[in-house]
Each structure stands twice: as C-alpha cells, then as structure tokens.
A and B are shown apart, each in its own frame.
Chain A
Amino acid sequence: MPNSFNFNFILTIADNSLILAQRLGELCGHGPNLETDIALTNISLDLLGQTRSYYQYAAKLTGDRKTEDDIAFLRIEREYRNCLLVEQPNTHFGYVIGRQFLFDVYHFMLLEKLQNSPDETLAAIAKKSIKEVSYHKRFSSDWVKRLGDGTEESNQKMQEAIDDLWRFTDELFFMTEAETEMAKNGVGVDVSTFKEKYYEEVSEILNEATLAIPENKYFTKGGKEGVHTEHMGYILADLQYMQRTYPNMTW
C-alpha cells in the first residue's frame, strides 16, 4: 500500500503543526502582554492554515470520503504522528519560546527541502509555509536572545526551558518507516541529513543568548510513532470535544 506511506508521511509533518497550533491557541487571551498574545496566536493560525492544506491533500489520498476534519478530529491518540516536543505544555513563557524556537529551526530546514519535492502539492504547501515559518523562527530566536541575555531571572527561566525541552530534539531527526520510504522514492525528506546543521544553528543562537548548550545525552522519542507523553490526551480532549460530543457538527 504505497499510499499509506504517503499518508503517514504527510501526517508526521501536519500533526506537528496541528498540535503546536493547539498549544499556542491555549494562550489566546493569556499572553504576557497584548502584543505578544497577538503574535503567538498569529503563529498558531499560520500553523493551522498549513495543517489544513496538508490534511486536505491527505484526505484526497485516502480515496474514501474522509475530509480534513475527520483527520484532524476523529483519530485516536496513537494515530497522531506529531513529535513529543510540540505537545509539551506552556509551563511559562520561557517554555513557550523555547519549544517554538527548537521547533522553528527544524521546521524551516524541513520546508527548505520539501519545497523541492517532485510532489507538486507538497512542494506548493512548503513554498507557501516557509515564508510564515521564516518569520516564526525570527520571532522565537529574537525572544530566546532577549530572555537569555536579559535579566538574571529571564536567563534562568529560558535556560530551564531549554534544558527541559532539549531531550525532545533528537526525535525530530528520527526517521519513521513512512519517512524512510518516502525519502527513498524522492518525494519525502531525509530529515537526518540536516541534523548536524540544526544543532549548529541552535547552538549559535543559544551562544548569542548567553545560554548554555545542554549536555544531556538522554533523549526521548515516540510521538512520531504514536506513543505520546501524558499531555497528549488532554490536548486531544480539548481539540476533539466538539466533534465527539456533536458528531458531524459544522459551523
């Protein structure tokens, strides 16, 4: 079933955007100030827009009457393919920024490759998304530097977030079966090829932010294969509530 590889490959990309959008959406009306609140929810909406494009395409690939909404709302936890990093909670602003930064650098590099995919739909989505993600990366890197190189308190909180989230970064470069197959046939992206570049860029910005690069060698993974952290169930409960309670409900 070559289609299932394609389908799952698209989900590994799209689910990251969906879950991160949901996490950022939780901050709507709760940002540290008005301007940052709007900035974070803008990013959330960018990601949600990208998710829709991917899901619409994925729904078409299934060949049955599935829609983007079925894919977004009616899967069980084990069927979501997002990495563990994006489902981590908004513990404090340092975590929101740290999570965003560690993801954005990866996301940008992924889209750089994906925009050259021979699959025209994926290439088009990547081309449109990369401008948005380029701004996300600028926003989150700027904040990492501001907080890292800010006050003693902001430095300590930013460092705490980076230290805590670091163990989820390795999973970004773990290749699932679907990704491996899709990379082999040229449509997908071999994410392991830019792992070194990723850590270089991240380290450069952390250095600039006067933050220490974590040294822990213990990494967690599983999300990309559907094995999530304890937070995921709560996210889905929020996300899926309406469709589960009022099936087939529309606006």
Chain B
Amino acid sequence: MSEKKNWPLWEIFVRSKNGLEHRHFGSLHAADAEMAMENARDVYTRRNEGVSIWVVESKNITASNPEHNGEMFEPAQDKIYRHPTFYDLPDEVKHM
C-alpha cells in the first residue's frame, strides 16, 4: 500500500455536452492513464456531467509562473483598443 503515495497527479477535462469544449474539472491520483480515466469517470461524471473525458498527467502541463504575472498580463490591461468595441456592428452580425 506504500506505493499509492507515489501515484502521480492527473488533470481531468470533461466535455459536458456535444458541441461544447472540454473544461478543466479537477485533478486526481492514478497509477497510469487507464486508471486515471476510470477514476475520472467515477469521480467527475457520476452525476451525468459528461460525454467525453480527457486525462493529462499534471507534469505535462506547462503553467505560467504567478510571479511573472506583472510582465505577462498587466501590459494588456490598459490597451482597451484591442477590444473591438469602437465599431458599430450591423444587427445581422450577431456574434463577434
């Protein structure tokens, strides 16, 4: 039983309906991808939440460093002209 502490962490993405995108649902421990898939099915879709599951071992995700948030995200804060809000859209164009 000592081995279970070494089970790697997996990130679970679930698509709740056909046509929607996969969304991050949470993470869990599993020995390999197959077990991660079964665990994800039991932990995250037992209340009929999904039609498709992706599992990714957490170590394979490259995440941005919160310490770099300043240089990463703040320069975009005052550039409202990057939002296309200065145009009058014809009514026929519903989704921009």
In the bound complex, how far is the Cα of B22 from the Cα of A69, in angstroms? 42
Which A residues are in CB contact (< 8 Å) with B56?
none
Residue A167, interface by CB 8 Å = no
**Restricting to A32-55, which residues have a CB under 8 Å from any CB of B?**
32-36, 38-39, 42
Tell whether A35 pairs with B3 under 8 Å between CB atoms, given A42-B46, A142-B34, A146-B31: no
Query: For the complex, would chain A's binding face be called helix, strand, loop or mixed by DSSP majority?
Result: helix
CA distance A142 to B33 in the complex (A): 13
B29 interface residue per 8 A CB criterion:
yes
- Taking a contact as CB atoms closer than 8 A, the residue among A38, A139, A151 that contacts B46 in the complex is A38
Q: Does B21 contact A (CB under 8 A)?
A: no
Q: Are A35 and B29 in contact (CB under 8 A)?
A: yes
Residues of B close to A39: CB separation below 8 A? 38-39, 42
Residues 27-61 of B at the A interface (beta carbon under 8 Å)? 28-31, 34-35, 38-39, 41-43, 46
Partner of A33, one of B29, B34, B38, B41: B29
Please indicate the chain A residues that have their CB under 8 angstroms from the CB of B35 in the complex. Answer: 142, 146
Residues of B within 8 A of A32 (CB): 1, 4
Chain B residues within an 8 Å CB radius of A34: 28-29, 43
Please indicate the chain B residues that have their CB under 8 angstroms from the CB of A38 in the complex. 39, 42-43, 46
List the A residue with the shortest CB-CB distance to B42. Answer: A39
Q: Is the CB of B42 within 8 A of A35?
A: yes
Measured between beta carbons, the chain A residues less than 8 angstroms from B41 are 135
Contact, CB under 8 Å: A142 / B31: no
Q: Cα distance A33–B28 when bound, in Å?
A: 11
Q: Count contacts on B: residues with CB < 8 A to the other chain.
A: 16
Number of interface residues of A (CB under 8 A): 14
Chain A 1-40 interface 0/1 with B at a Cβ cutoff of 8 Å (1 = within): 0000000000000000000000000000000111110110
Closest chain-B Cβ to A167's Cβ sits at a distance in Å of 27
In the bound complex, how far is the Cα of B38 from the Cα of A151, in angstroms? 21
Q: How far does the alpha carbon of A146 sit from the alpha carbon of B31 in the complex, in Å? A: 10
Q: How far is the CA of A38 from the CA of B30 in the complex (A)?
A: 13
Question: A35 and B1: CB pair below 8 A?
Answer: no
Which residues of the partner chain B approach A135 to less than 8 Å between Cβ atoms? 41
Contact residues in A for B43 (Cβ distance below 8 Å): 34-35, 38
Give CA–CA (A205, B39) in the complex, Å. Answer: 21
Which B residues are within 8 Å of any A CB, using their own CB? Answer: 1, 3-4, 7, 28-31, 34-35, 38-39, 41-43, 46
- Across the A-B interface, give the 3 residue pairs with the lowest CB-CB distance, nearest first: A35-B39, A39-B42, A38-B42
**A33-B29, A38-B43 given; 10 more Cβ-contact pairs under 8 Å:** A32-B1, A33-B4, A33-B7, A35-B28, A38-B42, A38-B46, A39-B39, A42-B46, A135-B41, A146-B35
A-B contacts, 29 of them at CB < 8 A, read A32-B1, A32-B4, A33-B4, A33-B29, A34-B28, A34-B29, A34-B43, A35-B28, A35-B29, A35-B30, A35-B39, A35-B42, A35-B43, A36-B39, A38-B39, A38-B43, A38-B46, A39-B38, A39-B39, A39-B42, A42-B42, A42-B46, A135-B41, A139-B38, A142-B34, A142-B35, A146-B31, A146-B35, A151-B3
